[in-house]
A = this chain, B = another copy of it.
Amino acid sequence: MDKKGMLIVISGFSGVGKGTVMQLVFDSIPNLQFSISCTSRKPRAGEENGVNYFFITEEEFEEKIKNDEFIEYTKTFTNYYGTLKSEIDGPLSRGVDVLLELNVVGARRIKELYPDCVTIFITPPSLDVLKARLIGRGTETKDSLKRRLAEIEKEGKDIENYDYAVTNNVARTCADAVVHIIESEHLKVSRQNLKNLFVSEE
């Protein structure tokens, strides 16, 4: 039987609560592996190297690009973000499911490279709720909030390229929905090897 792992991509607007949801998903599926991305940006408060990201310098990042170590990478305003091949292909070939958190550009590239990956977009209950959450975080200036809302508008159009969209109203409910999506995807006939399973040997 084909025991290749499944690749799951999670995206969602800034402030939607992806982190909490993903933590609950990992608690529910102990075998699920989080693929740690590389970035050249500085760690935020509470972020740890090798947990949230591999934090490396811009020079190190460019070295890895040169060595063809990335499946995909992007450069935002000032920072590199990338997915290492070693973080994906190793676990998958050992039959381990891998979860990746990516923005819409990264998700699109991964879908091209791994067409049978499962892409899930986490949405807020409404745009107003999201705005309130972003303002409530207290980390946004008027300008950065404006830029985030423009990003949301742009990314929102990309939801149509995802397989699933799940609303994060209550984190536990949202996480359960994600867990059930992953479990249900494993039950797809196209992901199982059922051929001749019920042919009598007599």
A153 to B13, CA, bound (A): 49
Are A198 and B13 in touch, CB under 8 angstroms? yes
Residues of B within 8 A of A164 (CB): 184, 187-189
A66 to chain B, nearest CB (A): 37
The answer to whether residues A194 and B149 also contact, given A165-B189, A187-B165 and a CB cut-off of 8 A, is no
- Kindly name the residue among A123, A160, A198 whose own CB sees the greatest number of chain B CB atoms within 10 A: A198
Partner of A160, one of B121, B152, B195: B195
Is A105 at the interface (CB under 8 A from chain B)? no
| Copies of this subunit | 2
Residues of B within 8 A of A71 (CB): none
Is A163 at the interface (CB under 8 A from chain B)? yes
Are B200 and A187 in touch, CB under 8 angstroms? no
The answer to whether residues A198 and B123 also contact, given A177-B184, A184-B180, A187-B181 and a CB cut-off of 8 A, is yes
Mask for A95-114, Cβ within 8 A of B = 1, else 0?
A: 00000000000000000000
A198 to B156, CA, bound (A): 6
Q: How many residues of A contact B (CB 8 A)?
A: 37
Chain B's closest residue to A150 (CB) is B200
Q: Which A residues between 152 and 202 are near B, CB-CB below 8 angstroms?
A: 152-153, 155-157, 159-166, 177, 180-181, 183-185, 187-189, 192, 194-200
Are A162 and B180 in touch, CB under 8 angstroms? no
Partner of A196, one of B156, B183, B196: B156
Is A127 at the interface (CB under 8 A from chain B)? yes
A196 to B188, CA, bound (A): 30
Given contacts A164-B188, A180-B180, 5 further A-B contacts (CB under 8 A): A155-B198, A156-B198, A165-B189, A177-B183, A180-B183
Q: Which 9 interchain pairs have the tightest Cβ spacing?
A: A156-B198, A180-B180, A184-B184, A181-B184, A164-B187, A159-B194, A165-B189, A162-B189, A127-B198
Q: List 24 A-B contacts (CB under 8 A).
A: A13-B198, A121-B189, A123-B194, A127-B200, A149-B200, A153-B198, A153-B200, A155-B198, A156-B194, A157-B196, A159-B194, A160-B194, A161-B189, A163-B189, A164-B184, A164-B187, A164-B188, A165-B187, A165-B192, A177-B183, A177-B187, A180-B183, A181-B187, A184-B184
